[in-house]
Amino acid sequence: MELQNIIDQSIEAQSKEASATVTETLLLNKTLKIEPLTPEAFKPFGDLIDKDNSEFFMINNGSTRRYHRMADVDVADNGGEPIISIFQATPLQYPLSIKMMERHPLGSQAFVPLLGNPYLILVAPKDDSPNPDAIRAFISNGKQGVNYHKGVWHHPVLVLKEEDQFLVVDRAGPGNNCDEVYFSDKVQVELTLDDLVSI
């Protein structure tokens, strides 16, 4: 028993020390709140591509509604050209520790869901580097697409279903169009799915 007591005390001491160290050195420790995606909330970051939040006019002799110009493709900087691609993505593991953000300094990037599945969107305001304390998390209802404005920090695709798909409209052309910033270990930002009632 004496030996067991020593071991227990040792473990307890180590645990307290580790906990104290983490608390002292962490600069940020937060869990993101997932918000619904609305044009107003997303406005600082880009456009919502969502016919249920858009006006339309009739074309084609009255047979077609045109929900016009929900997003502008802004990719002309430095000789860029707009291109159309498809992304097929795999879900990451949750709870997810947010380790990095990226931005496209030369162009906008639009994602429109092709299979109707809800997915998550993480953004941070335009700045020299992404402010981890300013990250916002949104959930799309599966019909809503987003168009990140040029230079807006965002997390790579965050799908919730296997082999989910998006139409992507972004830029091809000369120059570096992807900056990635990795956060320090002292920054802990976590994304959980605990508060998602229904997906």
- Applying CB under 8 A, does 197 fall inside the site for a second copy? no
CA distance 68 to 49: 10
52 vs 128 by CB, closer to a second copy: 52
Site of tokens 């953004």: 123
Phi and psi torsions of 120, nearest 5°: -105, 155
**String of contacts with a second copy for each residue 140-169, x by CB under 8 A:** ---x-x-x--------xx-------x-xxx
Q: Pick the stretch among 5-13, 18-26, 110-118, 129-137 that binds a second copy (CB under 8 A).
A: 110-118
- Burial 83-118, CB ≥16 within 10 A → b, else e: eeeeeebebeeeebebeebebbebbbbbbbbeeebb
Q: Look up residue 149 and give its two tokens.
A: 């404005």
116 vs 175 by CB, closer to a second copy: 116
**String of contacts with a second copy for each residue 36-75, x by CB under 8 A:** -------------x-x--x-x--xxx-xxxxxxxxxxx-x
Q: Pick the stretch among 5-13, 33-41, 108-116, 131-139 that binds a second copy (CB under 8 A).
A: 108-116
Which string of DSSP letters, residue by residue, matches 74-86? ---GGG-EEEEEE
Site of tokens 């110009």: 69
Q: Site residues (CB under 8 A) for a second copy?
A: 49, 51, 54, 56, 59-61, 63-73, 75-76, 81-90, 92, 110, 112, 114-116, 143, 145, 147, 156-157, 165, 167-169, 172
